[in-house]
Each structure stands twice: as structure tokens, then as C-alpha cells.
Amino acid sequence: MARVLVLGAAAVDTVVRVPAFPKTDDIVFPEEVLRVPGGSAANVAVALARLGTEVSFLGTVGADADGETIRAAFTSERVDASALFSLPKGRTAGAFIAVNAKGERVMYSLGGDAVYTSVNQLDGVSFACDALYIAEAFTEVGLEAAKRAKAHGAKVFFAPGGVMCGFGLEELLPLMQEADTVLLSEPELETLTGKTEAQPGADALFASGAKAIVLTQGARGASLFQPGGIVSTPASNATVVDTTGAGDAFAGAYLFAELRGDAPNERLAFASRCAAFACARVGARSSPRLDEIEPE
């Protein structure tokens, strides 16, 4: 069984299902309100665990009820939370997510404590792993984690997400150069490079030192860009109920498939099926278990 370390943020999401998003000064009544564990990196950790990977999560929460909710959720999903630090004076991070009848979403970060802020917090973590997945991270912490993981022969995956991409390419460059694979959506690629088309955007990142780029392209599928060529797959058919967490399901599945030795086209196709599965369910942690996506 492969072992993966996930470095990033966990949070508690308030998810509100509405018939439509309100216009300015309008008000809508929710059809459903849920408070559930979330956070992109945490969702990826759960996705990996459900597929059968041994996963340890590296992050922080506040010493509060939401922090205990996150820890209990990890335990129930068999994600090792021994390196999830509870900060005595901290406040667990949160997000507000509204989902309309089309499955589209808008998200608001409510802030809080979620990520390692010091390299010293990495001490005591065993980096004897097959892969390190870096999501939200301070650059110096991410680089040190990558260095320790690579000393054990691990692959490094970097998925900065929309918030980190907003910091700009120069800020993310050290982590991007250290990673074996960078995972991005098309809007994130455009934010980083200013390119509206995928190939010029990928070329700009290759020129900056990126080695391989996995790009999710919404209803058009996903692609793996490498300096020597491109591999693409169409999106799997899905009944879209909620797109929250679909990208996290894709990322976890892609990483799982690479670690088990799948070819690039097989990784993309498997990840696409897992993302479609997630879209058909409500909430950020709707990724499948292996027997749900690959029945024997």
C-alpha cells in the first residue's frame, strides 16, 4: 500500500443549497444547510484514503469544537491525523459555500488556522513516503517538506489552488520547480500565466521550470502536459448536483492512479470518472471508494 503525506488546510464548510444565486440586494431561502468537514487538501487526503492509500495529513486546527469535528472525520476515514496540530489559542478555519440548482457554486473563505506556519512543525513527521501532496502552504514550509520527502525517494505533487495562484507565479515558482507534477485548473493556469489557451500557458510554466502539468478543463475533460507532448481525456458523463469537491476527487484519484503504475491516459480517465462520481453528490467529500468506481 502506498503512503502519501498531504500538506495543506482543513476547514469546516457551511454549505447552503439554493434554487438560484441572489442578485444584488435580493434574498433567497435555502433548501438545505449543512455544516461538514472540508478544505481542499483535507478532501484530497480523504479521497486517497477511500481508494486504499495510507494517508497522513499535515495541518492545523483550533482547539475548538470545529477542530474536533475535523479530527474525528479524519479518524472515521482512516486518515492519520497525528500531525494535525490543535492550536490552543487558534480558531479552526471555515468556508461558506452556496450551491445553486445547476450545481454551480460560490465560495467565501471565513479565515482561521489551517496550515503549518513554521518549518519546525515538520519535525517529528516521518517523511518515509511514496508521495507528498502540497496544497495550501507557506513557501519555506512546502520546500522543506519536499526536500525531506525527496530524500526518501518520494514524488512531489503541487496543487496551489485559486487562492495561492492569486499570489502570482513569482511567489509559487520555487515550489513549482521542486514538484514532479503541478495540478491546476484552466482558470488557475490563466491567473498564473496570463494565457487564455492551455498550450501557451503550459509552455510558460515549462519555461519557468515546471516538469509536468495536469490540467482540469471542466466539461472538456483533462490533460497531462509534458515538454514532449500532451495526453488528454474527455470528461466522464455526470449528473451534476454539486461541483464542490470534484477537483479534489480528481486530484486524489490521479495521484492514486500514478502511484499504482497506471499509464498517463489511464490516470486521467480514472480521475475523470472519480470527479464525475463526486459531481453527482452533495458536499466536498463526495469522492468514491475503490469498489464504487471499479467494482470487482
| Average pLDDT for 90-102 | 91
Asked if 130 and 4 touch (Cβ cutoff 8 Å), the reply is yes
- Residues whose CB is less than 8 angstroms from the CB of residue 169 and which lie 6 or more positions away in sequence, other chains included: 176, 192, 193, 205, 208
Compute the distance between CA of residue 196 and CA of residue 143 in angstroms, rounded to an integer: 29
Quick one: pLDDT at residue 293? 87
Question: Which residue has cell 516521518?
Answer: 126
Q: List the grid coordinates of 131.
A: 508521495
Indicate the burial class of 104 (C-beta count within 10 angstroms; 0-12, 13-18, 19 or more): middle
Is the model's pLDDT at 296 over the cut of 50?
Answer: no
pLDDT in tens, 171-217: 999 999 999 999 999 999 999 999 999 999 999 999 999 999 999 99
Give the mean pLDDT of the chain.
93
Quick one: pLDDT at residue 218? 86
Share of the chain above pLDDT 90, in %: 82
Question: Would you give the distance in Å from CA 273 to the centre of its chain?
Answer: 16
Asked if 5 and 145 touch (Cβ cutoff 8 Å), the reply is yes
pLDDT in tens, 99-155: 898 888 898 988 899 999 999 999 999 999 999 999 999 999 999 999 999 999 999
Quick one: pLDDT at residue 186? 95
pLDDT in tens, 248-271: 999 999 999 999 999 999 999 999
DSSP string, 238-266: ---S--TTHHHHHHHHHHHHHHTT--HHH
Is the model's pLDDT at 98 over the cut of 70?
Answer: yes
- In the chain the domains, ranked by start, together with CATH numbers, are 3-20+31-287 (3.40.1190.20)
Q: What are phi and psi of 80, to 5 degrees?
A: -70, 120
